[in-house]
Chains A and B, each alone.
Chain A
């Protein structure tokens, strides 16, 4: 009954359990939600909706945060 989904996470193919929300995913990855931005299929998500956004097979996710930088 516990089916799995394939997602693309920061450019890597990953398998996750179905029924996972964005908030669950961040929790599984040990990432603090208040420190990152999440883009789901090119849509930048509002942090307040992380626990409502259910992941589905084939989703493309990007999780980004701040790193040291001046200009590049």
Chain B
């Protein structure tokens, strides 16, 4: 079980738990939660810099880009044009070609606009981006994203921030079986068992933000998620027993009176 590395586009990732940096009380809490979670990939958003009040601190003063892989997202983008524009800005602001691509279709559900997603991914891959797309739990769309050059696919478990957990384990399982690139379950996780379940299904990693940041004790939840992802991965690799309707005794009958 020693050699169990996650490789995406030639990069090695130590942690199978990836975390977002939004919704925390302050940067100190953000930093602590991420450190406790053991995550080595953190997502960030790209926004206008505050030009009137420069006293405001910067997230990167707390999240060292040398220590963590910074994964900029295109959160809030509802068109191909916006998603491509934000991706280019993210690359210019940062140090890598990685982007978590989001093209959203609807404000209420934040479900992806998968047609726009595939189109934007195609453009960005041609420009040399390493595109990690946030997508639906649709295996056909996942395959199309791979076909246009995405080195990993990030299907949702449930709507972003909903905490509903793994709503469609069967589709996720089909994606994991059909798709030959790493699958990172993104969005919808509510608590530790959800993360463990995603990993037991065979996910290569889980990405979450609200489940940790929104917990009553974010630092304790960060620790719980670390163990959940690890336990789920170990269980997946160990191979669970088949489900049966009736009991099978664990103790021998032999030697009974």
A contact residues vs B (CB 8 Å cutoff)? 9-12, 29-31, 35-39, 44-47, 62-72
Q: Who on chain A is nearest to B154 by CB?
A: A71
Is A29 within 8 A of B51, CB to CB?
A: yes
Is A62 within 8 A of B48, CB to CB?
A: yes
Docked Cα-Cα span, A24 to B99, in Å, equals 29
Contact for B59 among A10, A29, A66, A72, CB less than 8 A: A66
| Chain A CB within 8 A of B257 CB | no
| Chain A CB within 8 A of B54 CB | yes
A62 CB contacts on chain B under 8 angstroms: 48, 89
Is B20 within 8 A of A70, CB to CB?
A: yes
Is B89 within 8 A of A64, CB to CB?
A: yes
Docked Cα-Cα span, A47 to B76, in Å, equals 25
B20 CB contacts on chain A under 8 angstroms: 68-71
Query: DSSP class of B's interface residues: helix, strand, loop or mixed?
Result: mixed
Number of interface residues of B (CB under 8 A): 44
| Chain A CB within 8 A of B24 CB | yes
Is A44 within 8 A of B44, CB to CB?
A: no
Given contacts A29-B54, A45-B92, A71-B160, contact A66 B48 (CB under 8 A): no
Docked Cα-Cα span, A71 to B227, in Å, equals 23
Given contacts A66-B59, A69-B44, A72-B75, contact A10 B49 (CB under 8 A): yes
Is B22 within 8 A of A11, CB to CB?
A: no
Contact for A63 among B51, B60, B209, B210, CB less than 8 A: B51
Is B49 within 8 A of A64, CB to CB?
A: yes
Is A66 within 8 A of B46, CB to CB?
A: yes
